[in-house]
Structure 1
Amino acid sequence: MGPQVTEDGPIPSNDDVKLSFSSIPPDQEIMELFSHFKSRFYPFQPVCYDVDYIESVVSSLIGGAGQAPKVTKHFLCLFHAILAAGDQFSDSPVEQRSKLFHKHLRHALKHLGTFEVVLNPAIEIIQGLIVLSQILQNDVNPRGAWILSGITIRSAICLGVHKKGPRPESSQLSPRDAAKLRCKLCPFCLLVHVSVDNTDRFSRMAIIWQDTLLSMAFGRNPSSHEMYHETDLPPLWQHSSEPAGLTYRQAMNWICHASMKYFVVPASPPESAVYNDIFRTFAEIQASCAKHIRERSECRSLLEVQEHYSFILHRNLEFHSFADQFSPGKEDKKCTNKMPRTFFLGSWTL
């Protein structure tokens, strides 16, 4: 006989539960790696829609409290993915760092497989997949990241993350929660406990962020168009009328959404008018950013310096992807003459 099945999926056996909790590392390892994740990884990769809630659940594992009620196999997949990400940014010797990274990567993938994400997707699994894709990119495994990005997008669609408006009673996501996940998934393809009102929107943005960056890196069309809802984003303001400006994450969400809107891998380059729209949009985004993102001289902390250069790096990556279609090596010389490569120099580059 197979395992018992409910509306929420298969019920794990006692042996499965023991195996799951046996993967939890010593307290010191948890505290050190999670701290690295939160301070060094998370500020630039919004892979979790409520890192403080996740930290509270992780804290319940400290001190041998391994049977904490909020800790499920779904959560353990995300938990080990987070520790693997934290290890990538630790100060440990390379050999030790590699050993810990692959240990937690294996545990995360094991818990992912145990729950058969295709048949029983969950919010924790979506977040775990986003983290896993990012750390595989960092580990120079873009093919693995590309594969996981496709699984992430379709799992999110099964959960209804791509939909706006009221959700079915059985749904785990509110409209705003799904919006957040959509934004995370968008960057996936181009390079792949939260307030009930916020999860959808955060999820959508995370998906788009990942999808967009990974797709551009592969020179492929993104796959998360169903997550695209421009109303998930804050309005663009000229900095003269909105002193605060867009935060780093808001600015990144905007350039990833703009790239998804325009980036296509066509048989021939599109009309130059399309590119005029692209650069007009990017100029509006930059004008709406916080001062420290626009100007290095406005940076007042190390984090602001990192955000300034990280934004420039990703913006130029996306510009390069668009500009590549106008390179002299392309067959359509007429388009190349309309938009010379010098257009992409100057204030848009480091």
Structure 2
Amino acid sequence: MRSILGLDNTAPFPLMSSRHLDRMTVDISTELPSDREVMKLFRTYKEIPQQFWGLVIDIDDLETKIMVYLEERAKNSRAQTKAIKPVSASWLAILFAVLAVGSQYHDSPYHVRTRDAQRYIQISFHFLRLGNFLLRPNLDSIQAMLMTSFVLLNDMKAEASWALLGLTCRLAQSLGLHRSQHLDGREDPETRKKDSMRRKLWWICVWHDTLTSLSFDRSPMTNIPCCPLPLSPNADTEGYGYLETMMLLCRVISDRLNPDVAGTASYSQILDNCKAIDDIRMKVAPQIRNKDECRSALDRLQYYAIRLHSSFVISVCCRPALRRGNSNRLEASQKKFLGDKCKESLTETVRMYLAMHQLSVIPTRSWAFTYHGLSSAVLLSILCETKADPEVHQLQGDLILALSATTQKERSTPTPHIQESDKDIELSGPLSRALTALKNIYDHGSVIGSRVKSESLPASGTRTPLQNQQPGAGQLVGPLPAQDIAYRQNNNLDPHQNAAIAMAELQQQQQNGMSQMQSDYPNMQFLASQQVPQQSGQLADLSNIDPSTYMSPMDLYDQIFWESPDPFNTGVDAMNFDFLSQPPPGQQPPQQYYF
């Protein structure tokens, strides 16, 4: 069947010439580090990322093959006649991808980790191309692509990671990993093992696609009927392990929290979604379900991680109560209950993030952990007056300190495209904006801080950038005039870009907006509004207006985290490529013109 569809053929990689592939292969033939370096990074991968993400479906088999490969390499370096035991390009892609992930979690300075991870993942992707992963995908190439996406995600390239995950899941589908094998129990152990590995690899794809899509509030592409979960035979009696728990949690997210469905969920559906997550918690193995029964540091970290992820998902279930309008048909008492439950879950998420941070570098070096912890802290700060809640204020300060902590400066100089930093991590994109907003709320009680610098310095980091408003996204409370909406659609303005429009909106919001906000969110405290001074005949300076005074919590949250980039040519990648035109065959070169 696959050959009919154009897969599993012998055609070369279609997006690069064989000459360039051969040249790159020669260039990287000596890139594999020393045996000690390989084992050091592999050990880091096995002890940290593998325990929390399970990107390699058979880590013991990979370790055995690595040892054999290194021994053969050592023998060939001393022997005159080399005994060749070839390995596949896809397997080498896994090896270098493991080194890349291990580099990200190794105890090295930021720029050293980043340099090594980027170098190894580039080599891994080259071997994927040599193995023709587009036309001849296999289990090894799928695992290598998952790790490539993981490295990009932790390197603050979340959009690229999400896009590559989509391709990875498509290739996994082309292998039929999502299909059930319908085994009757009479198969030999090898057949059952292969079926388990295929199902495990598919559900790892589902896991990463679902969590990353949830972060972007997008529908996962793996939300399709598929094979059953690869649970261990003793899962029903001994409880779920960490990897099994995360797969079950992601199944709930995929089935129940699709953005198209969750936004209109009824009160009973929201409670049922929260109960489904609590039921998973109750079925986890005792040593990672109860803190008092944790037997090792790994158990304690996995306990924190399960509480962190599950609490974050519960807060996502409750978010419809924080949005403007009443598409969920929620009563005031129901909104209050869900709002309180959301605040409790957000607080637990931040608390678990900080608990993990005290023991390990895992949360601060992982995009998913950092996003869950930081976004929960920001939304928690928007929901309540932080200065009136000592616990929330303390969590804010501790999280800011954790994400801003510096390490001892290193003397080594990074490569030109990697910035040398005295920090253990470097945030960018939505996480950087969110941390800036959190600092402003912590220091000044307002998202925009005490003062705003000139609009000509949007990247100065002194305030949270505001995304360009689009129709239907982040609008103010209450209806806007038709001409205002039309003007916004043509110009993509936000409230701080046009003083006249912003003043009109603010006046209308003062007339009918606050009553609507209070009816939508009863008994919920928000950041204090700021007075807008106005002199006769003059428009007030609106640069210091707190967006929380005219936006719902979720609209403000979305504005902090997500920008709407221009999908057309932005000129960012503009370079001076001068291609000389060539005449058609048999014609003279074109005449030179002088201007």
Residue aligning to 2:211: 213
1:128 partner letter? A
106-115 or 307-316, which moves further after superposition?
Answer: 106-115
Q: Distance in 2 between matches of 1:135 and 1:175?
A: 32
335-344 or 107-116, which moves further after superposition?
Answer: 335-344
- Tell whether the 8 Å contact from 2:94 to 2:140 is kept in structure 1 after alignment: yes
Matched, 1:285 2:301: no
Residue aligning to 2:178: 162
Pair 197,230 (structure 1): closer, same or farther in 2 beyond 3 Å: closer
Pair 231,133 (structure 1): closer, same or farther in 2 beyond 3 Å: closer
Deviation at 1:330, TM superposition (A): 4.8
Q: Counterparts in 2 of 1:162-311, with a 5 A limit? A: 162-165=178-181, 195-226=193-224, 228-230=226-228, 232-233=230-231, 242=237, 244-266=238-260, 268-311=263-306
1:283 partner letter? D
Residue aligning to 2:31: 23
Q: Distance in 2 between matches of 1:164 and 1:228?
A: 7
Deviation at 1:25, TM superposition (A): 2.2
Residue aligning to 2:98: 82
Q: Distance in 1 between matches of 2:53 and 2:84?
A: 27
More helix by share: 1
Pair 319,69 (structure 1): closer, same or farther in 2 beyond 3 Å: farther
Pair 333,148 (structure 1): closer, same or farther in 2 beyond 3 Å: closer
Pair 293,119 (structure 1): closer, same or farther in 2 beyond 3 Å: same
Residues 153-179 of structure 1: CA distance to partner in whole angstroms, max 9, x if unpaired?
000011111111269xxxxxx986xxx
- Tell whether the 8 Å contact from 1:236 to 1:284 is kept in structure 2 after alignment: no
1:134 pairs, out of 135, 147, 150, with: 150
Q: Distance in 2 between matches of 1:227 and 1:22?
A: 45
Deviation at 1:58, TM superposition (A): 1.4
Q: Distance in 2 between matches of 1:147 and 1:6?
A: 21
Residues 68-127 of structure 1: CA distance to partner in whole angstroms, max 9, x if unpaired?
636211111111111000001111233322221111011112222333322111111100
Residue aligning to 1:41: 49
The Cα RMSD (Å) is: 3.1
**What is the percentage of aligned positions where both structures have the same residue?**
23
Q: Distance in 2 between matches of 1:228 and 1:212?
A: 14
152-161 or 297-306, which moves further after superposition?
Answer: 297-306
Deviation at 1:336, TM superposition (A): 6.3
Q: Distance in 1 between matches of 2:54 and 2:93?
A: 17
Q: Distance in 1 between matches of 2:38 and 2:283?
A: 39
Deviation at 1:43, TM superposition (A): 0.5
Pair 7,216 (structure 1): closer, same or farther in 2 beyond 3 Å: closer
Deviation at 1:236, TM superposition (A): 11
2:180 partner letter? K
Larger Rg: 2
Which runs of 5 or more residues in structure 1 are unaligned?
Answer: 168-173, 177-194
- Tell whether the 8 Å contact from 2:239 to 2:286 is kept in structure 1 after alignment: yes
Residue aligning to 2:314: 319
Q: Distance in 2 between matches of 1:109 and 1:115?
A: 10
DSSP-derived class of the 1:223 partner = coil
Residue aligning to 2:141: 125
- Tell whether the 8 Å contact from 2:55 to 2:146 is kept in structure 1 after alignment: yes
1:215 partner letter? S
1:115 pairs, out of 102, 124, 131, with: 131
Q: Distance in 2 between matches of 1:148 and 1:175?
A: 30
Residues 277-315 of structure 1: CA distance to partner in whole angstroms, max 9, x if unpaired?
212211211111122332222212110110011111111
Task: Tell me the matched-pair count.
Answer: 318
Q: Distance in 2 between matches of 1:78 and 1:236?
A: 30
- Tell whether the 8 Å contact from 1:212 to 1:260 is kept in structure 2 after alignment: yes
Q: Distance in 1 between matches of 2:154 and 2:114?
A: 12
2:252 partner letter? A
2:63 pairs, out of 55, 66, 88, with: 55
Q: Distance in 2 between matches of 1:223 and 1:89?
A: 29
- Tell whether the 8 Å contact from 2:181 to 2:195 is kept in structure 1 after alignment: no
Q: Distance in 2 between matches of 1:148 and 1:112?
A: 13
DSSP-derived class of the 2:180 partner = coil
2:91 partner letter? F
1:213 partner letter? L
- Tell whether the 8 Å contact from 2:314 to 2:342 is kept in structure 1 after alignment: yes
327-336 or 198-207, which moves further after superposition?
Answer: 327-336
Residues 167-222 of structure 1: CA distance to partner in whole angstroms, max 9, x if unpaired?
9xxxxxx986xxxxxxxxxxxxxxxxxx3242211112111111111010010011
16-25 or 312-321, which moves further after superposition?
Answer: 16-25
Pair 346,15 (structure 1): closer, same or farther in 2 beyond 3 Å: closer
Deviation at 1:129, TM superposition (A): 1.0
- Tell whether the 8 Å contact from 2:312 to 2:345 is kept in structure 1 after alignment: no
- Tell whether the 8 Å contact from 1:88 to 1:97 is kept in structure 2 after alignment: yes
Pair 281,70 (structure 1): closer, same or farther in 2 beyond 3 Å: farther
32-41 or 262-271, which moves further after superposition?
Answer: 262-271
Q: Distance in 2 between matches of 1:202 and 1:333?
A: 36
150-159 or 96-105, which moves further after superposition?
Answer: 96-105
- Tell whether the 8 Å contact from 1:208 to 1:256 is kept in structure 2 after alignment: yes
Residue aligning to 2:575: none
Which runs of 5 or more residues in structure 2 are unaligned?
Answer: 1-5, 77-82, 184-189, 352-595
DSSP-derived class of the 1:304 partner = helix
DSSP-derived class of the 1:225 partner = coil
2:257 partner letter? F
Pair 154,128 (structure 1): closer, same or farther in 2 beyond 3 Å: same
